[in-house]
Chains A and B, each alone.
Chain A
Amino acid sequence: MESVQSAAAIDVASVPAAPAAVGGFRGEARYFAYFTRRRPLFIFGLVVVLLSLVAAAVGPYVAPYDPIKATMDILQPPSASHWMGTDASGSDVFSRVLVATRIDLVIALAATAISLLVGTPLGGLAGFWSSSRGGTRWASELLLRLMDIIQSFPVFILALALVAVSGPNARNVIAGIAFVNIPIFLRLTRSAVLTTQHRAFVDAARVSGESDLGIVFRHVLPNSLAPALVNASATVGWSILLTAGLSFVGAGVRPPTPEWGAIIAQGAEQLVSGHWWISFFPGLALATTVFGYAIVGDGLRQFLDPTKRV
């Protein structure tokens, strides 16, 4: 059933200019527009990611109230003047949630970038080395066993322990989250390299006279990065969740710095007395953002896959 449809689709798409056939940045942009138009969920994810970035950039300047200052208007329900109500110290919840976007995002983006930059090259090496003999093979095995050790701990517990040992501040939270995410990127890249290096185009490159380095950087790695890059977006989402989780249990960013997990924790004390809005709105922001980054990651995987292009 599919062959008939796809044959027809190719006929239609390839005769007039197919979007991807146009070279360079403009071609990519045209294909992106074409790709996005038919994926409403992907658009939603993009909007969430974009909003989170804008909020992180300008949040502190546009917040209607001082997010830290205590006032007399404590525990006010959501209203026109306080969209998300106020908390037990009388601070505006909306302002706190908005301002908190920056620290959550900075921590998550930095942690993901570090784990990607460390994990991907190490995964590449582990992949090349695992088919060799002698010392490099041994190094590859050692690397993998180290990853086993890291991954044998629950991610949250390990991050908690690392931050607890090194001290609860933003820099240590970044380091802790980056550390627990390295094995994922290492393994993803390694397994992709293991598959890619046996493809015929790698042999063809060797026959063409490509050097070992050329084979690695022009042929094997570019065709092995997709899993790690796709995972990066989702990892940003999970890192936000982890950051919030650490603050929630008091091991992350210290109050009164506004941070989603910390705000939820503060609100949790008031939940039992019916003041739901203090936890609900930062929780909603957290869930939406994590979801948005996961969707964008999945969409990017499809967008970057050249074989899915018509």
Chain B
Amino acid sequence: MANATANEPILRVERLDKHFPIAGSNLTVQAATDVSFTIGRGETLGLVGESGSGKTTVGRCLLRLTDPTAGRIVFAGQDITTLSGHALRRLRPRIQMVFQDPHDSLNPRHRIADIVAEPLRLAGMHDARERAARVGELLEMVQLRGFGDRFPHQLTGGQAQRVAIARAIATKPDLIVLDEPTSALDIAVRADIINLLMRLQREFGASYLFISHDLTAVRHIADRVAIMYLGQLMEIAPAHALFRNQLHPYGKALLSSVLYPDPTATPARFVLEGEIPSPIHVPPACPLHTRCPLARPECATIPIWLEELAPGHATACTRAIAESWTTVPDVEPVAAMVGD
């Protein structure tokens, strides 16, 4: 996994925009703006951010469940941004998705075996007998042996999500978009799902885009992490580097909000002011400048871009770039209290 970035990336997203028009006005919801990143073969990229930051929209664009407004999506060297019809369906076995709500992602009228077999059937892989055997194998891999005849509502959330994972790996895809796969599950089940996903990745070598706001899970599973705020990438870095040191005030605020089960840990000191603005009225230039305790007047005027300040560690903070930060400075305690 460590040398994955050295290879040609399986996925390259270039300057992706997704703006949803609001009916009856000329306003748009700017769900994603100028998003660029790559995912290497066998690599896991964690995509984190608050609710409404556009993480899911980016994932859905990769699967072409929504059409991007602008930008390019290059998968395995092929531009898939405008694929449609037959060509798009031929690509389907290679990119799969696991959804947030496991029960809602399974057709309630289909039995588990049929659900897992569906991508195989549609890809024309195997005849019916081989397919049944393959479904048995897949169910065994997700520890659901003998569940083939059941209906989705007879499963727990964790079991349903394992069915969704079995369906996602059925065609041995190169990339799986995991859209908050654990957020609807009990804490106790989350670790099982994360460990299952990691084990399957070791066995099959698929790349993951792991969308989540659960930073603990991201830290566990991701090789690299990208942080989104109001549809834009703020910071992207190898996971171990990012969790040790941040180069963007938003990254620092996000990570200092994680609660560790350690009574001696010092409480978070780096706090943003106020609430996240609406994605309809995204602040110009740096979208964070309205809340950032380190903002300068020019933050409201200079357009942002991502620049690498340390190996593999890029930030969109113009101040960090201008001042060549090695870390985000702490705020005076007085200033930090303003937000409260």
Contact = CB atoms under 8 A, between A and B. Distances in A.
Interface string B41-65: 0000000000000000000100101
B104 A208 contact: no
Max chain A C-beta neighbours (<10 A), residue from B63, B101, B107? B107
Nearest to B99: A200
B167 A307 contact: no
Interface string B93-121: 10111011100111111010000001100
A210 interface: yes
A218 to B, nearest CB: 8
Contacts of B126: none
20 contacts: A18-B154, A21-B150, A23-B149, A200-B105, A201-B104, A201-B106, A201-B108, A203-B97, A204-B105, A205-B118, A206-B65, A207-B65, A208-B92, A208-B122, A210-B118, A214-B122, A219-B107, A223-B107, A306-B108, A309-B154
Interface in A18-58: 18, 20-21, 23
A6 interface: no
Contacts of A219: 107
Given A20-B154, A207-B119, A223-B107, 14 more contacts: A20-B151, A23-B149, A201-B107, A203-B65, A204-B99, A204-B106, A204-B107, A207-B97, A208-B92, A209-B119, A209-B123, A218-B107, A306-B151, A306-B153
Contacts of B65: 203, 206-207
Interface in A183-217: 199-201, 203-211, 214
A125 B153 CA distance: 28
Nearest to A206: B65
Contacts of B104: 199-201
B154 A208 contact: no
A256 interface: no
Nearest to A22: B149
B85 to A, nearest CB: 9
Interface in A202-252: 203-211, 214, 218-219, 222-223
A23 B113 CA distance: 12
Contacts of B118: 205, 208, 210
Interface residues of A, number: 25
B164 interface: yes
Contacts of A14: 154
Interface of A: 14, 18, 20-21, 23, 199-201, 203-211, 214, 218-219, 222-223, 306-307, 309
Q: Is the interface of A mostly helix, strand, loop or mixed?
A: helix
B89 interface: yes
Contacts of A214: 122
A305 B60 CA distance: 30
Contacts of B107: 201, 204-205, 218-219, 223
B43 to A, nearest CB: 21
A206 B101 CA distance: 16
B158 to A, nearest CB: 15
Contacts of A201: 104-108
A15 B330 CA distance: 57
B122 A210 contact: yes
Interface in B54-90: 60, 63, 65, 89
A21 B149 contact: yes
A222 B96 contact: no
Contacts of A200: 99-101, 104-105
Contact of B109 (A23, A203, A306): A306
A204 B97 contact: yes
A307 B153 CA distance: 6
Contacts of B96: 207
Nearest to A310: B154
A47 to B, nearest CB: 29
